[in-house]
Amino acid sequence: MNMEQKPRKFWPPLIGGIGLGIALLGMFVVTGHGLGAYGFYKRIIVWIGDDVASQWTQANAYLSTSLGKGHPLDFWISWEVLGIAFGSLVGSLVARRFRFKIERGSGISINSRLLLAIFGGMLSGFGAALARGCTSGLGLSGAATLSVAAFLFLMGFFIAGLITARITRKVW
């Protein structure tokens, strides 16, 4: 392999964690809330739903509470996700870690991997809707405020993750 293409090593987790902590702190100081991701996907569903099935979306008790508040770009979380995309793109390009690929273990086909990605995503989207937030929005941001809800969520997350990983290790 060409030396030019050699990826830079990942940062030590302590340094990465401090950086992430400062980002979290800064977000709270400026906006009063933490970092998130789930809300962005819900916004997209509400936005598309209002466009293609307006009556159903308005009648839906879960989606309707987020209706009538405009385009996804009217919400802070969309700008934040744009920032996440930009930050990871620039970071991976500069460190020569950017790779077009489908990440998977050697024992699994591309089709199976993509199907599992969709299935895992479905559980994740459903779970975040149920919990009212995801690993960053509820777990990480909530834990920074010492919220009981966040630690409860993280407990469920890690215990279920540790059990599932015993079964899914072949995927990776």
Partner 1 sequence: MEFMSETLYIAAIITFGGMFGYFLEASGLGSPKKINAQFVLKDWTVFKVMFTSIVVAAGGFLILDMLWITDSSTFAIPTTFFWAMLIGGALLGIGLNIGGYCPGTSVVGLFSGRIDGLFFMIGMMIGILLFALLFEYIEPLYHATKGAESQTLSELIGLPSWVIVISLFVMAVIGFIAGNKVERKGNGVINSNDLDND
- In the bound complex, what is the minimum distance in angstroms from residue 51's beta carbon to partner 1? 14
Q: How far is CA 40 from the centre of its chain?
A: 9
What is the C-alpha separation between 12 and 113, in angstroms, rounded?
A: 29
**What six digits make up the tokens of 106?**
């050697």
**What six digits make up the tokens of 140?**
């990480």
Q: Which residues contact 11 (CB under 8 A, 6 or more apart)?
A: 19
What is the C-alpha separation between 40 and 81, in angstroms, rounded?
A: 7
- In the bound complex, what is the minimum distance in angstroms from residue 56's beta carbon to partner 1? 9
